[in-house]
Amino acid sequence: MSIQAWLVRRKIKAAFRPKMPPGTPDAVRLENFDKSLKAMEKRLPGPPKGKCKIEKVNTSDGVQGEWITAKGAREDRVLFYSHGGGYVWGGPKPYREFGWRLSKALNAKVFLLDYHLAPKHKCPAPIEDALRAYDWIMANHPGVPVVMSGDSAGGGLTLAVAHAIRDSGRAQPKAISLISPWLDLTGSGDSIRGNADKEVMLDPDGIHYAADAYRGDIPADDPRCSPLYGMQAGLPPVFVQVGSDEILLDDSVRFEARAREEGVTVQLDVWRKMHHVWHFSAIIIPEGRKAIADMGTFFNRHFGN
């Protein structure tokens, strides 16, 4: 682990995991998480001026998001990206710098999906938003290879949408990448407790609040909100990256085992001592830049053009 990553982990833990006594109400935990996210959002850098094109999308039929294209990136490749934030936070703007890095690494246009958030909009509303946007992209980019990715809750959304695309008979994406994905809203993975003291961002005692806000009346093990429990057979190649210290580690480990058993080509990279979605810290830490470069290598093998 680089010294930069060590310092970033300390800052993240101080903001997101302050010491709280046992029995602290969920409302207090949620309030701290919300404040930390908003404070982080204010400090996030934008893409470098003059090196990125940003185009907002808001169609009459409800497709919302932004195109992020690094200077010189190809127009005949598309990455469809779903942001994280526990289904209760996030949008294209905080992801612009990251989107620019992805556009450079993949040599492709990046579509940052702006989906409806919980608790006002519950599952399957974000899935429907994503399918609508996917159909719009495919219709407006005939013959252009499309790949999909997402982090944390956006990783879970990406996999749920991939299931829906496959099951509906739509043309599938060429490949999928999942970053620290949240695939199991039941919280049954051993790492939820096993990594509780190592995790620097997510609260193992409070993560169920976001899960309940998103799933509503849908059972927590329904594949629409917990795609770990869905059928994985028939998916395109999948690349998964996760940190060894994350409470969500076992979501990735169990998915890799199930997907491989069902005949999916899947690669799981577990990064030692990395924090949740460390890619977001790429402006500071070399591990973030390397992980994004690895994504570029993976997708470049599958674009086919």
Q: DSSP string of 87-112?
A: TTS--TGGGHHHHHHHHHHHTSEEEE
Q: 116, 85, 117: which is closest to 98 by C-alpha?
A: 85
pLDDT at 173: 98
- pLDDT-above-70 percentage for the chain: 100
pLDDT at 276 over 90: yes
**DSSP secondary structure letter of residue 171:** P
Pick from 16-25, 95-104, 200-209: least confident: 16-25
Q: Cα(249)–Cα(107) distance, rounded to whole angstroms?
A: 29
pTM, two decimal places: 0.95
Q: Write the Ramachandran bin of 263: left for phi over 0, alpha for psi from -120 to 50, otherwise beta.
A: left
**E strands, 22-77, in order:** 52-58, 64-70
| Mean pLDDT over each residue of the chain, to the nearest integer | 94
Q: Cα(142)–Cα(296) distance, rounded to whole angstroms?
A: 22
pLDDT at 21 over 90: no
Q: Cα(220)–Cα(216) distance, rounded to whole angstroms?
A: 9
Tell me the catalytic residues: 152, 246, 276
pLDDT at 162: 98
